[in-house]
Chain A
Amino acid sequence: MPEAVLSVNGLDGHYGDSHVLHGVNFSIRAGEVVTLVGRNGAGKTSTLRAIMGLLPRRSGSIALRGRQLIGLPPHRIARAGIGYVPDDRGIFASLSVAENLALPPRAQAGALSDGEIDALFPRLKERRASPGTKLSGGEQQMLAIARALRTGARLLLLDEPTEGLAPVIVQQIGAILRDLKSRGYTVLLVEQNVHFAASVADRHIVMENGRVVDSLDNAELAADPGRLDRFLGV
Protein backbone atom coordinates (compact mmCIF):
# COMPACT_ATOMS: atom_id res chain seq x y z
CA MET A 1 0.00 0.00 0.00
CA PRO A 2 1.46 3.44 -0.92
CA GLU A 3 2.61 5.61 1.96
CA ALA A 4 0.30 8.21 3.49
CA VAL A 5 0.98 11.63 1.96
CA LEU A 6 -1.18 13.46 4.45
CA SER A 7 -2.15 12.19 7.91
CA VAL A 8 -4.46 14.22 10.08
CA ASN A 9 -4.81 13.00 13.65
CA GLY A 10 -6.85 14.42 16.53
CA LEU A 11 -7.08 17.79 14.79
CA ASP A 12 -8.87 20.45 16.82
CA GLY A 13 -9.59 23.90 15.44
CA HIS A 14 -10.96 27.13 16.86
CA TYR A 15 -12.10 30.52 15.64
CA GLY A 16 -11.72 32.65 18.76
CA ASP A 17 -14.02 31.06 21.33
CA SER A 18 -15.81 28.81 18.92
CA HIS A 19 -14.48 25.29 18.73
CA VAL A 20 -15.22 24.04 15.19
CA LEU A 21 -13.03 20.95 14.65
CA HIS A 22 -13.20 18.14 17.18
CA GLY A 23 -10.47 15.55 16.75
CA VAL A 24 -10.57 15.17 12.98
CA ASN A 25 -8.84 11.98 11.77
CA PHE A 26 -8.09 10.85 8.23
CA SER A 27 -5.22 10.10 5.95
CA ILE A 28 -4.62 10.16 2.21
CA ARG A 29 -2.24 7.95 0.28
CA ALA A 30 -0.06 9.02 -2.61
CA GLY A 31 -1.98 9.29 -5.86
CA GLU A 32 -5.41 9.15 -4.24
CA VAL A 33 -8.21 11.57 -5.05
CA VAL A 34 -10.37 11.93 -1.96
CA THR A 35 -13.42 14.09 -1.35
CA LEU A 36 -14.47 15.69 1.88
CA VAL A 37 -18.26 15.78 1.97
CA GLY A 38 -20.78 17.00 4.49
CA ARG A 39 -23.44 19.61 5.11
CA ASN A 40 -22.78 23.33 5.13
CA GLY A 41 -21.05 24.17 8.38
CA ALA A 42 -19.74 20.63 8.89
CA GLY A 43 -16.17 21.89 9.05
CA LYS A 44 -14.81 21.02 5.59
CA THR A 45 -13.44 24.48 4.79
CA SER A 46 -12.10 24.78 8.33
CA THR A 47 -10.27 21.47 7.92
CA LEU A 48 -8.51 22.70 4.78
CA ARG A 49 -7.75 26.03 6.43
CA ALA A 50 -6.34 24.22 9.46
CA ILE A 51 -4.07 22.14 7.21
CA MET A 52 -2.82 25.35 5.53
CA GLY A 53 -2.22 27.05 8.89
CA LEU A 54 -4.92 29.65 8.25
CA LEU A 55 -7.07 28.81 11.26
CA PRO A 56 -6.43 31.16 14.19
CA ARG A 57 -5.87 28.19 16.53
CA ARG A 58 -5.34 24.49 15.89
CA SER A 59 -3.86 21.53 17.70
CA GLY A 60 -3.35 17.84 17.13
CA SER A 61 -1.23 16.45 14.34
CA ILE A 62 -1.03 17.14 10.61
CA ALA A 63 1.80 15.28 8.92
CA LEU A 64 2.86 15.78 5.31
CA ARG A 65 4.97 12.76 4.30
CA GLY A 66 5.89 12.44 7.95
CA ARG A 67 6.70 16.11 8.45
CA GLN A 68 4.68 17.83 11.19
CA LEU A 69 2.87 20.95 9.93
CA ILE A 70 1.32 22.12 13.19
CA GLY A 71 3.31 25.15 14.30
CA LEU A 72 4.50 26.11 10.82
CA PRO A 73 3.30 29.39 9.27
CA PRO A 74 1.17 29.09 6.08
CA HIS A 75 3.97 29.96 3.65
CA ARG A 76 6.18 27.20 5.03
CA ILE A 77 3.29 24.75 4.74
CA ALA A 78 2.67 25.78 1.13
CA ARG A 79 6.37 25.46 0.33
CA ALA A 80 6.43 22.01 1.92
CA GLY A 81 4.39 20.99 -1.11
CA ILE A 82 0.69 21.74 -0.76
CA GLY A 83 -1.22 23.63 -3.45
CA TYR A 84 -4.32 25.31 -2.03
CA VAL A 85 -7.42 26.59 -3.81
CA PRO A 86 -9.66 28.43 -1.31
CA ASP A 87 -13.45 28.29 -1.50
CA ASP A 88 -13.63 31.83 -2.95
CA ARG A 89 -10.78 30.97 -5.38
CA GLY A 90 -8.56 33.73 -4.02
CA ILE A 91 -7.96 35.44 -7.36
CA PHE A 92 -6.26 38.81 -6.90
CA ALA A 93 -8.15 41.63 -8.61
CA SER A 94 -5.14 43.93 -8.78
CA LEU A 95 -3.09 41.28 -10.61
CA SER A 96 -3.41 40.21 -14.22
CA VAL A 97 -4.05 36.57 -15.06
CA ALA A 98 -0.35 36.13 -15.85
CA GLU A 99 0.65 37.78 -12.56
CA ASN A 100 -1.80 35.63 -10.59
CA LEU A 101 -0.31 32.57 -12.24
CA ALA A 102 3.29 33.59 -11.62
CA LEU A 103 2.68 34.67 -8.03
CA PRO A 104 3.55 31.59 -5.97
CA PRO A 105 7.23 30.82 -5.60
CA ARG A 106 8.21 27.49 -7.14
CA ALA A 107 8.79 25.48 -4.04
CA GLN A 108 9.21 22.02 -5.49
CA ALA A 109 11.07 20.63 -8.46
CA GLY A 110 9.00 18.92 -11.13
CA ALA A 111 6.26 21.54 -11.39
CA LEU A 112 4.22 21.48 -14.58
CA SER A 113 5.89 23.62 -17.22
CA ASP A 114 4.17 26.71 -18.60
CA GLY A 115 3.49 24.74 -21.77
CA GLU A 116 1.82 21.91 -19.83
CA ILE A 117 -0.27 24.43 -17.90
CA ASP A 118 -1.32 26.11 -21.17
CA ALA A 119 -2.28 22.72 -22.61
CA LEU A 120 -4.30 21.84 -19.51
CA PHE A 121 -6.01 25.25 -19.30
CA PRO A 122 -6.30 26.57 -22.87
CA ARG A 123 -8.85 29.21 -21.85
CA LEU A 124 -6.35 30.91 -19.54
CA LYS A 125 -3.75 31.30 -22.23
CA GLU A 126 -5.98 33.61 -24.25
CA ARG A 127 -6.65 35.82 -21.24
CA ARG A 128 -3.13 36.31 -19.90
CA ALA A 129 -3.28 40.10 -19.84
CA SER A 130 -6.76 40.60 -18.39
CA PRO A 131 -7.19 41.49 -14.73
CA GLY A 132 -7.85 38.39 -12.61
CA THR A 133 -11.40 39.27 -11.76
CA LYS A 134 -12.49 39.98 -15.34
CA LEU A 135 -12.61 36.21 -15.81
CA SER A 136 -15.78 34.13 -15.66
CA GLY A 137 -16.30 32.00 -12.55
CA GLY A 138 -15.11 28.89 -14.36
CA GLU A 139 -12.00 30.63 -15.67
CA GLN A 140 -11.23 31.93 -12.20
CA GLN A 141 -11.48 28.41 -10.86
CA MET A 142 -9.13 27.14 -13.58
CA LEU A 143 -6.72 29.97 -12.80
CA ALA A 144 -6.78 29.08 -9.10
CA ILE A 145 -6.03 25.42 -9.88
CA ALA A 146 -3.32 26.32 -12.42
CA ARG A 147 -1.73 28.67 -9.91
CA ALA A 148 -1.66 25.96 -7.26
CA LEU A 149 -0.01 23.60 -9.76
CA ARG A 150 2.71 26.09 -10.64
CA THR A 151 4.17 25.79 -7.12
CA GLY A 152 5.22 22.26 -7.94
CA ALA A 153 3.06 20.90 -5.13
CA ARG A 154 2.07 17.27 -5.62
CA LEU A 155 -0.75 17.48 -3.07
CA LEU A 156 -3.70 19.73 -3.91
CA LEU A 157 -6.41 20.94 -1.54
CA LEU A 158 -9.42 22.20 -3.49
CA ASP A 159 -12.36 23.77 -1.69
CA GLU A 160 -15.54 23.26 -3.72
CA PRO A 161 -14.02 23.77 -7.17
CA THR A 162 -17.36 23.19 -8.93
CA GLU A 163 -19.55 25.41 -6.78
CA GLY A 164 -21.78 27.73 -8.80
CA LEU A 165 -20.39 26.65 -12.17
CA ALA A 166 -22.31 25.63 -15.29
CA PRO A 167 -22.45 21.85 -15.97
CA VAL A 168 -20.15 22.08 -18.99
CA ILE A 169 -17.48 23.82 -16.89
CA VAL A 170 -17.95 21.26 -14.12
CA GLN A 171 -17.22 18.56 -16.70
CA GLN A 172 -14.06 20.35 -17.79
CA ILE A 173 -12.88 20.56 -14.21
CA GLY A 174 -13.66 16.87 -13.78
CA ALA A 175 -11.51 16.12 -16.82
CA ILE A 176 -8.67 18.21 -15.42
CA LEU A 177 -8.85 16.39 -12.09
CA ARG A 178 -8.76 12.99 -13.82
CA ASP A 179 -5.79 14.18 -15.87
CA LEU A 180 -4.00 15.26 -12.68
CA LYS A 181 -4.77 11.92 -11.08
CA SER A 182 -3.26 10.12 -14.06
CA ARG A 183 -0.13 12.21 -13.56
CA GLY A 184 0.09 10.94 -10.00
CA TYR A 185 -1.15 14.00 -8.12
CA THR A 186 -2.79 13.51 -4.74
CA VAL A 187 -5.96 15.54 -4.32
CA LEU A 188 -8.22 16.32 -1.39
CA LEU A 189 -11.31 18.13 -2.57
CA VAL A 190 -14.36 19.43 -0.79
CA GLU A 191 -17.39 18.58 -2.88
CA GLN A 192 -21.14 18.87 -2.36
CA ASN A 193 -22.13 17.18 -5.60
CA VAL A 194 -22.12 13.43 -4.93
CA HIS A 195 -22.26 12.48 -8.62
CA PHE A 196 -19.29 14.65 -9.40
CA ALA A 197 -17.49 13.32 -6.34
CA ALA A 198 -18.05 9.72 -7.43
CA SER A 199 -16.88 10.53 -10.96
CA VAL A 200 -13.48 11.90 -9.94
CA ALA A 201 -12.63 10.47 -6.52
CA ASP A 202 -11.51 7.10 -5.19
CA ARG A 203 -12.80 7.63 -1.70
CA HIS A 204 -15.07 9.90 0.31
CA ILE A 205 -14.64 11.20 3.84
CA VAL A 206 -17.81 12.40 5.50
CA MET A 207 -17.79 15.19 8.07
CA GLU A 208 -20.46 16.29 10.48
CA ASN A 209 -20.24 18.84 13.30
CA GLY A 210 -16.50 19.14 13.04
CA ARG A 211 -15.84 15.38 13.10
CA VAL A 212 -15.18 12.65 10.55
CA VAL A 213 -18.22 10.36 10.80
CA ASP A 214 -17.82 8.00 7.85
CA SER A 215 -15.43 7.01 5.12
CA LEU A 216 -16.23 4.95 2.06
CA ASP A 217 -14.79 4.15 -1.33
CA ASN A 218 -16.59 4.24 -4.66
CA ALA A 219 -17.50 0.54 -4.57
CA GLU A 220 -19.15 0.98 -1.19
CA LEU A 221 -20.93 4.07 -2.44
CA ALA A 222 -22.21 2.19 -5.50
CA ALA A 223 -23.43 -0.68 -3.31
CA ASP A 224 -25.31 1.69 -1.00
CA PRO A 225 -26.02 4.95 -2.82
CA GLY A 226 -28.13 6.17 0.11
CA ARG A 227 -25.24 6.01 2.55
CA LEU A 228 -24.22 9.62 2.00
CA ASP A 229 -27.74 11.03 1.91
CA ARG A 230 -28.07 10.67 5.67
CA PHE A 231 -25.21 13.18 6.06
CA LEU A 232 -26.04 15.44 3.16
CA GLY A 233 -29.83 15.58 3.09
CA VAL A 234 -31.70 18.36 4.81
Chain B
Amino acid sequence: MSVQVLSGQLLLGLINGAFYALLSLGLAVIFGVLGIINFAHGAFYMVGAFAAWGLATYLDVGYWPALVLVPLAMGLLGMGVERLMLKRLAGLDPLYGLLATFGLALVLEGTFRQVYGSSGQPYPVPEALQGGVNLGFMFLPLYRGWVVAASIVVCLATWLAIERTALGARLRAVTERPDVAQALGLNVPLLVTVTFGVAVALAAFAGVMAAPVYQANPLMGSNLIIVVFAVVVIGGMGSLSGAILSGYGLGLAEGMTKVFYPPAANIVVFVIMAVVLMVRPAGLFGRAS
Protein backbone atom coordinates (compact mmCIF):
# COMPACT_ATOMS: atom_id res chain seq x y z
CA MET B 1 0.00 0.00 0.00
CA SER B 2 1.22 3.48 -0.80
CA VAL B 3 1.91 6.27 1.64
CA GLN B 4 -0.52 8.43 -0.37
CA VAL B 5 -3.43 6.08 0.25
CA LEU B 6 -2.63 5.73 3.91
CA SER B 7 -2.19 9.43 4.60
CA GLY B 8 -5.20 10.24 2.44
CA GLN B 9 -7.41 8.02 4.55
CA LEU B 10 -5.84 9.35 7.74
CA LEU B 11 -6.73 12.86 6.63
CA LEU B 12 -10.31 11.82 5.84
CA GLY B 13 -10.46 10.21 9.26
CA LEU B 14 -9.16 13.37 10.88
CA ILE B 15 -11.79 15.47 9.04
CA ASN B 16 -14.56 13.22 10.30
CA GLY B 17 -12.92 13.27 13.70
CA ALA B 18 -12.95 17.07 13.66
CA PHE B 19 -16.74 17.03 13.35
CA TYR B 20 -17.14 14.20 15.85
CA ALA B 21 -15.10 16.16 18.38
CA LEU B 22 -17.02 19.43 17.96
CA LEU B 23 -20.37 17.69 18.29
CA SER B 24 -19.46 15.28 21.07
CA LEU B 25 -17.94 18.12 23.09
CA GLY B 26 -21.24 20.02 22.91
CA LEU B 27 -23.22 16.90 23.76
CA ALA B 28 -21.00 16.18 26.77
CA VAL B 29 -21.36 19.75 28.05
CA ILE B 30 -25.14 19.62 27.66
CA PHE B 31 -25.32 16.24 29.35
CA GLY B 32 -23.25 17.55 32.26
CA VAL B 33 -25.13 20.77 32.86
CA LEU B 34 -28.70 19.92 31.80
CA GLY B 35 -28.61 16.20 32.47
CA ILE B 36 -30.23 15.46 29.13
CA ILE B 37 -29.08 13.63 26.05
CA ASN B 38 -29.63 16.14 23.29
CA PHE B 39 -30.94 14.19 20.34
CA ALA B 40 -31.40 17.41 18.39
CA HIS B 41 -27.67 18.12 18.29
CA GLY B 42 -27.26 16.61 14.83
CA ALA B 43 -30.27 18.57 13.60
CA PHE B 44 -28.72 21.81 14.86
CA TYR B 45 -25.57 20.91 12.94
CA MET B 46 -27.65 20.31 9.82
CA VAL B 47 -29.54 23.60 10.26
CA GLY B 48 -26.16 25.31 10.64
CA ALA B 49 -25.07 23.98 7.25
CA PHE B 50 -28.37 25.00 5.65
CA ALA B 51 -28.19 28.44 7.24
CA ALA B 52 -24.79 28.98 5.62
CA TRP B 53 -26.17 27.74 2.32
CA GLY B 54 -29.27 29.94 2.64
CA LEU B 55 -27.19 33.01 3.48
CA ALA B 56 -25.06 32.43 0.39
CA THR B 57 -27.96 31.56 -1.91
CA TYR B 58 -30.54 34.16 -0.91
CA LEU B 59 -28.51 36.97 0.62
CA ASP B 60 -25.15 36.57 -1.03
CA VAL B 61 -23.47 36.35 2.37
CA GLY B 62 -20.20 34.43 2.09
CA TYR B 63 -18.52 31.73 4.10
CA TRP B 64 -16.54 33.85 6.56
CA PRO B 65 -19.41 36.04 7.74
CA ALA B 66 -21.57 32.89 7.90
CA LEU B 67 -19.00 31.21 10.12
CA VAL B 68 -19.67 33.94 12.69
CA LEU B 69 -23.33 34.81 12.07
CA VAL B 70 -24.74 31.29 11.91
CA PRO B 71 -23.34 30.10 15.28
CA LEU B 72 -24.54 33.36 16.89
CA ALA B 73 -28.05 33.02 15.51
CA MET B 74 -28.22 29.31 16.29
CA GLY B 75 -26.91 29.96 19.79
CA LEU B 76 -29.81 32.36 20.36
CA LEU B 77 -32.22 29.81 18.92
CA GLY B 78 -30.75 27.21 21.26
CA MET B 79 -31.32 29.50 24.24
CA GLY B 80 -34.93 29.87 23.12
CA VAL B 81 -35.31 26.09 22.90
CA GLU B 82 -33.88 25.73 26.40
CA ARG B 83 -36.12 28.42 27.90
CA LEU B 84 -39.34 27.41 26.15
CA MET B 85 -38.96 23.65 26.07
CA LEU B 86 -36.15 22.02 28.04
CA LYS B 87 -36.50 24.18 31.16
CA ARG B 88 -39.97 22.78 31.69
CA LEU B 89 -38.55 19.26 31.77
CA ALA B 90 -35.95 20.03 34.45
CA GLY B 91 -36.31 17.71 37.40
CA LEU B 92 -38.22 15.09 35.42
CA ASP B 93 -36.82 11.77 34.28
CA PRO B 94 -34.02 12.44 31.71
CA LEU B 95 -36.05 10.33 29.31
CA TYR B 96 -38.39 13.30 28.78
CA GLY B 97 -35.52 15.49 27.64
CA LEU B 98 -34.35 12.78 25.28
CA LEU B 99 -37.83 12.35 23.80
CA ALA B 100 -38.40 16.09 23.47
CA THR B 101 -35.11 16.66 21.67
CA PHE B 102 -35.68 13.58 19.53
CA GLY B 103 -39.04 15.07 18.52
CA LEU B 104 -37.40 18.40 17.78
CA ALA B 105 -34.79 16.65 15.61
CA LEU B 106 -37.53 14.88 13.64
CA VAL B 107 -39.42 18.13 13.11
CA LEU B 108 -36.33 20.02 11.94
CA GLU B 109 -35.20 17.22 9.67
CA GLY B 110 -38.67 16.59 8.28
CA THR B 111 -39.14 20.28 7.53
CA PHE B 112 -35.87 20.55 5.62
CA ARG B 113 -36.52 17.30 3.78
CA GLN B 114 -39.98 18.53 2.80
CA VAL B 115 -38.57 21.76 1.41
CA TYR B 116 -35.25 20.62 -0.06
CA GLY B 117 -35.61 16.88 -0.63
CA SER B 118 -32.95 14.39 0.39
CA SER B 119 -30.25 15.42 -2.02
CA GLY B 120 -27.62 17.85 -0.85
CA GLN B 121 -27.36 21.54 -1.68
CA PRO B 122 -23.83 22.21 -2.92
CA TYR B 123 -21.82 24.86 -1.10
CA PRO B 124 -18.58 26.15 -2.55
CA VAL B 125 -15.24 26.07 -0.79
CA PRO B 126 -14.36 29.69 0.11
CA GLU B 127 -12.02 31.24 -2.40
CA ALA B 128 -9.15 31.76 0.00
CA LEU B 129 -9.06 28.02 0.75
CA GLN B 130 -9.41 26.57 -2.72
CA GLY B 131 -6.67 24.37 -4.04
CA GLY B 132 -4.13 22.63 -1.91
CA VAL B 133 -0.51 22.09 -1.10
CA ASN B 134 1.71 19.20 -1.98
CA LEU B 135 3.26 17.94 1.22
CA GLY B 136 5.55 15.58 -0.69
CA PHE B 137 3.97 12.40 0.60
CA MET B 138 0.42 13.62 -0.07
CA PHE B 139 -1.73 16.38 -1.50
CA LEU B 140 -3.49 18.39 1.23
CA PRO B 141 -6.60 20.28 0.11
CA LEU B 142 -6.39 23.61 1.95
CA TYR B 143 -9.99 23.59 3.07
CA ARG B 144 -9.62 20.21 4.76
CA GLY B 145 -6.52 21.36 6.55
CA TRP B 146 -8.46 24.41 7.72
CA VAL B 147 -11.32 22.27 9.04
CA VAL B 148 -8.98 20.15 11.13
CA ALA B 149 -7.04 23.14 12.44
CA ALA B 150 -10.14 25.21 13.25
CA SER B 151 -11.79 22.29 15.01
CA ILE B 152 -8.71 21.62 17.13
CA VAL B 153 -8.44 25.30 18.08
CA VAL B 154 -12.15 25.62 18.95
CA CYS B 155 -12.20 22.37 20.94
CA LEU B 156 -9.07 23.34 22.83
CA ALA B 157 -10.36 26.86 23.53
CA THR B 158 -13.67 25.47 24.80
CA TRP B 159 -11.90 22.96 26.99
CA LEU B 160 -9.60 25.63 28.41
CA ALA B 161 -12.52 27.97 29.03
CA ILE B 162 -14.30 25.29 31.04
CA GLU B 163 -11.35 23.79 32.89
CA ARG B 164 -9.19 26.85 33.50
CA THR B 165 -11.32 29.97 33.88
CA ALA B 166 -13.55 31.39 36.61
CA LEU B 167 -16.59 31.14 34.36
CA GLY B 168 -15.69 27.52 33.66
CA ALA B 169 -15.46 26.89 37.40
CA ARG B 170 -19.05 28.10 37.70
CA LEU B 171 -20.06 25.72 34.95
CA ARG B 172 -18.31 22.83 36.67
CA ALA B 173 -19.98 23.73 39.95
CA VAL B 174 -23.41 23.75 38.29
CA THR B 175 -22.63 20.42 36.67
CA GLU B 176 -21.74 18.92 40.03
CA ARG B 177 -24.26 20.42 42.45
CA PRO B 178 -26.70 22.90 40.93
CA ASP B 179 -28.57 23.40 44.20
CA VAL B 180 -25.46 24.29 46.20
CA ALA B 181 -24.17 26.50 43.37
CA GLN B 182 -27.43 28.42 43.28
CA ALA B 183 -27.56 28.78 47.07
CA LEU B 184 -24.12 30.41 46.83
CA GLY B 185 -25.55 33.07 44.55
CA LEU B 186 -24.87 31.71 41.05
CA ASN B 187 -27.68 32.41 38.60
CA VAL B 188 -27.99 28.76 37.65
CA PRO B 189 -31.00 29.05 35.30
CA LEU B 190 -29.13 31.67 33.26
CA LEU B 191 -25.93 29.60 33.20
CA VAL B 192 -27.88 26.58 32.00
CA THR B 193 -29.54 28.55 29.21
CA VAL B 194 -26.28 30.12 28.05
CA THR B 195 -24.48 26.77 28.18
CA PHE B 196 -27.08 25.15 25.97
CA GLY B 197 -26.86 28.09 23.59
CA VAL B 198 -23.07 27.83 23.36
CA ALA B 199 -23.22 24.08 22.73
CA VAL B 200 -25.78 24.63 19.95
CA ALA B 201 -23.53 27.35 18.51
CA LEU B 202 -20.68 24.81 18.44
CA ALA B 203 -22.88 22.39 16.50
CA ALA B 204 -23.86 25.15 14.08
CA PHE B 205 -20.20 26.13 13.67
CA ALA B 206 -19.46 22.53 12.74
CA GLY B 207 -22.40 22.63 10.32
CA VAL B 208 -21.05 25.69 8.51
CA MET B 209 -17.62 24.10 8.27
CA ALA B 210 -19.18 20.89 6.98
CA ALA B 211 -21.18 22.53 4.17
CA PRO B 212 -18.26 22.76 1.67
CA VAL B 213 -17.18 19.19 2.52
CA TYR B 214 -20.45 17.27 2.67
CA GLN B 215 -22.94 19.80 1.14
CA ALA B 216 -26.02 20.91 3.10
CA ASN B 217 -28.17 17.82 3.38
CA PRO B 218 -31.26 17.32 5.58
CA LEU B 219 -29.97 13.92 6.66
CA MET B 220 -26.40 14.93 7.46
CA GLY B 221 -27.23 15.40 11.15
CA SER B 222 -28.90 12.09 11.82
CA ASN B 223 -26.15 10.26 9.93
CA LEU B 224 -23.58 11.88 12.17
CA ILE B 225 -25.31 11.99 15.54
CA ILE B 226 -25.47 8.22 16.03
CA VAL B 227 -21.70 7.96 15.65
CA VAL B 228 -21.27 10.98 17.92
CA PHE B 229 -23.33 9.32 20.66
CA ALA B 230 -20.99 6.35 20.42
CA VAL B 231 -18.03 8.74 20.65
CA VAL B 232 -19.40 10.29 23.84
CA VAL B 233 -20.03 6.88 25.38
CA ILE B 234 -16.51 5.75 24.49
CA GLY B 235 -14.96 8.94 25.87
CA GLY B 236 -16.99 8.71 29.06
CA MET B 237 -20.29 10.56 29.56
CA GLY B 238 -19.01 13.23 31.92
CA SER B 239 -15.59 13.83 30.41
CA LEU B 240 -14.97 16.78 28.08
CA SER B 241 -11.41 15.87 27.25
CA GLY B 242 -12.66 12.31 26.67
CA ALA B 243 -15.26 13.58 24.19
CA ILE B 244 -12.65 15.59 22.26
CA LEU B 245 -9.91 12.96 22.21
CA SER B 246 -12.20 10.09 21.35
CA GLY B 247 -13.75 12.25 18.60
CA TYR B 248 -10.42 12.55 16.78
CA GLY B 249 -9.32 9.06 17.78
CA LEU B 250 -12.41 7.39 16.39
CA GLY B 251 -12.25 9.42 13.20
CA LEU B 252 -8.71 8.12 12.74
CA ALA B 253 -9.76 4.57 13.64
CA GLU B 254 -12.44 4.75 10.96
CA GLY B 255 -9.90 6.00 8.43
CA MET B 256 -7.51 3.17 9.28
CA THR B 257 -10.25 0.61 8.97
CA LYS B 258 -11.02 1.93 5.49
CA VAL B 259 -7.41 1.20 4.55
CA PHE B 260 -7.05 -2.22 6.08
CA TYR B 261 -10.55 -3.68 6.03
CA PRO B 262 -13.02 -1.40 4.22
CA PRO B 263 -16.19 -3.45 4.89
CA ALA B 264 -15.85 -2.80 8.63
CA ALA B 265 -15.35 0.97 8.33
CA ASN B 266 -18.96 1.81 9.10
CA ILE B 267 -19.21 -0.34 12.18
CA VAL B 268 -15.78 -0.02 13.74
CA VAL B 269 -16.90 2.79 16.06
CA PHE B 270 -19.76 0.69 17.39
CA VAL B 271 -17.53 -2.33 17.84
CA ILE B 272 -15.15 -0.17 19.85
CA MET B 273 -18.09 1.15 21.86
CA ALA B 274 -19.25 -2.36 22.68
CA VAL B 275 -15.76 -3.39 23.77
CA VAL B 276 -15.27 -0.25 25.87
CA LEU B 277 -18.64 -0.74 27.54
CA MET B 278 -17.67 -4.28 28.48
CA VAL B 279 -14.20 -3.43 29.75
CA ARG B 280 -14.67 0.10 31.12
CA PRO B 281 -18.37 0.93 31.42
CA ALA B 282 -17.62 4.52 32.51
CA GLY B 283 -15.77 5.14 29.22
CA LEU B 284 -12.09 5.59 28.49
CA PHE B 285 -11.81 8.94 30.29
CA GLY B 286 -14.87 8.79 32.53
CA ARG B 287 -14.78 8.44 36.29
CA ALA B 288 -16.85 5.57 37.59
CA SER B 289 -19.47 7.08 39.89
Contacts and interface: CB of A to CB of B under 8 A. Distances in A.
Interface of A: 52-54, 73-75, 77-79, 84, 86, 90, 92-95, 99, 102-105, 107, 147-148, 151
What is the size category of the interface that chain B forms with chain A?
10 to 19
Interface string B215-249: 00000000000000000000000000000000000
B161 interface: no
B286 to A, nearest CB: 13
Contacts of B184: 78, 84, 90, 103-104, 147-148, 151
A102 B170 CA distance: 10
Interface in B149-189: 166, 169-170, 172-173, 175-177, 179-189
B176 A93 contact: yes
Contact of B169 (A53, A79, A102, A148): A102
Contacts of A151: 184-185
A75 B169 contact: no
A92 B173 contact: yes
Given A79-B185, A84-B183, 5 more contacts: A75-B183, A78-B185, A92-B180, A92-B181, A99-B169
Contacts of A103: 169-170, 173, 181, 184, 186
Given A103-B184, A103-B186, A104-B184, A74 B179 contact: yes
Contacts of B173: 92, 94-95, 103
Contacts of A54: 179, 182-183
Nearest to B188: A75
Contact of A75 (B176, B177, B187): B187
A84 B189 CA distance: 19
B217 to A, nearest CB: 38
A95 to B, nearest CB: 5
Given A94-B175, A94-B176, A74 B169 contact: no
Contacts of A105: 185-186
Contacts of B183: 52-54, 74-75, 77-78, 84, 86, 90
